Amino acid sequence: MYCIDFNNIKKNFGNNTALNDLTININCGDSVSLIGPNGAGKSTTIKILAGLLEPDSGDVLISGYKPDAEEAKKIIGYLPEDASPYLTLSVRENLEYLGALRGIDDLNYKTDFFLDFLKLREYERNKVSSLSRGNRQKLSLALAIMHEPKILLLDEPLNYLDIPSQEDVIKYFKKMDATFLVSTHIMSIAERFTDNIVIINRGQKIWEGQIKQLKNMGDEENASMEAVISQIMGGL
């Protein structure tokens, strides 16, 4: 059984085709980067996996559950693109509120842990509306992972973060015993984080494999990953 099982998914928004027969299967414990240009369908894919959006056709299963089943909600950690926590609540209140909604045990301990780990302690009582974009992203990350999910669906997770925080977060992810699907349009992030990538464009898969393989595909020696990907996309 795949932990992320996304088969022949189609999704239209009006006349606009977002996903066109897209299939992505991920084994439990694997980390996969979802790469593609703007509008490729990355966010739509992730929203469907998170159970927030219904596909027009195709089958989705998360560890064997329907994505919007309560069992699936317990094991999914979803971070949308440009995530925004509750703006009127303070940083600590956001963590506690969501922890309570999710019924997390030892919530005080978890809250304190994330405040320190992401260096948000000094903003504990700050309303989210007053936080900088980077700190807001850190808080959003904490909110997405504080219930120790087994399946992580992260849409551009490192946006707005400074380099040390990026490193911390990646290290933390790597320690987690979970399955990752991470969307990004920045190759270096994909490279630091995952072994496998799926490249999509216009809602279709155009390449799938290991990052190592991709590196060997360039025409010239030492061609950058970006160049290789542009080449793949150009060949379409």
Partner 1 sequence: MNVKLLKFVLKTRVTSGYVILIFIFYFLEILYAVLAYFIGKTVKSEFLIAASIIASISLMEILFAGFYYKKSDFDFLFMTPVNRKELAKSFFTTSTLISSSFNFFMCYILLFTEHGYFAFLGLIDIFAILVINISISTIMRKYSTKTRIITIVTLIIWYIIPGFINFPFSPVSAFTGHIYSGTIIGLVLSLLLWLYVYNKSGNLPSTYYNFMAKKSAQIKENVKFSGMSPEKAVFSFNLKMLGGISVMRVGSTARVYAPRFKLTYSFIFSIGIAAVYTILFFYLPKSLYFQFLVGIYYLIYAVIIYPFTKGYAASSTERLWLSLMAMPSYKYFRLNAIGKSLSTEIFLIPLIIGNLILYFIFGHILFLRMLIITMVFGMLFTIIGYYIGGFYNTRQITDLGELSGHARYSIGNIITVIILIPFVLITIISLFIIPVLYIGIIALLIVSFSLILSKKINKRMQDSMVKRDFV
Ligand X SMILES: Nc1ncnc2c1ncn2[C@@H]1O[C@H](COP(=O)(O)OP(=O)(O)O)[C@@H](O)[C@H]1O
The interface region with Mg ion, picked from 59-67, 73-81, 91-99, 160-168 by CB under 5 A, is 73-81
Please report whether residue 94 would count as binding Mg ion according to CB under 5 A.
no
Please report whether residue 186 would count as binding Mg ion according to CB under 5 A.
no
Structure token pair of residue 229: 């990907």
Q: Which is nearer to ligand X, 22 or 95 (CB)?
A: 22
Binding residues for partner 1, rule: CB under 8 A, are 13, 47, 50-54, 68, 70, 73, 76, 78-80, 82-90, 92-93, 96-103, 107-108, 111, 124-130, 136, 143
Residue among 5, 21, 68, 81 that touches Mg ion (CB under 5 A): 81
Q: Is 182 helix (H, G, I), strand (E, B) or coil?
A: strand
Please report whether residue 44 would count as binding ligand X according to CB under 6 A.
yes
- Please tell me what DSSP assigns to residue 67: T
Instruction: Tell me whether residue 1 is exposed, middle or buried, using C-beta atoms within 10 angstroms of its C-beta: 0 to 12, 13 to 18, 19 or more.
Output: exposed
What whole-number distance in Å separates Cα of residue 201 and Cα of residue 189? 19
**What are the angstrom distances between the C-alpha of 5 and each of 27, 70, 77?**
9, 17, 16
Please report whether residue 189 would count as binding ligand X according to CB under 6 A.
no
Q: Which is nearer to ligand X, 42 or 110 (CB)?
A: 42
Q: Is 58 left (phi over 0), alpha (psi -120 to 50) or beta?
A: left
The nearest distance, CB 128 to partner 1, in angstroms, is 7
- Interacting partner of 138 out of Mg ion, ligand X, partner 1, none (Cβ under 5 to 8 A depending on kind): none
Please report whether residue 43 would count as binding Mg ion according to CB under 5 A.
yes
In single-letter form, the type of residue at position 55 comes to: P
What whole-number distance in Å separates Cα of residue 174 and Cα of residue 71? 24
* Cβ contact 111:99 at 8 Å: yes
Please report whether residue 54 would count as binding ligand X according to CB under 6 A.
no
* Cβ contact 136:84 at 8 Å: yes
Residue 4-43 contact track with ligand X, rule CB under 6 A, x = bound: ---------x--x-x-----------------x-xxxxxx
Binding site for ligand X (CB under 6 A): 13, 16, 18, 36, 38-44
Binding site for Mg ion (CB under 5 A): 42-43, 81
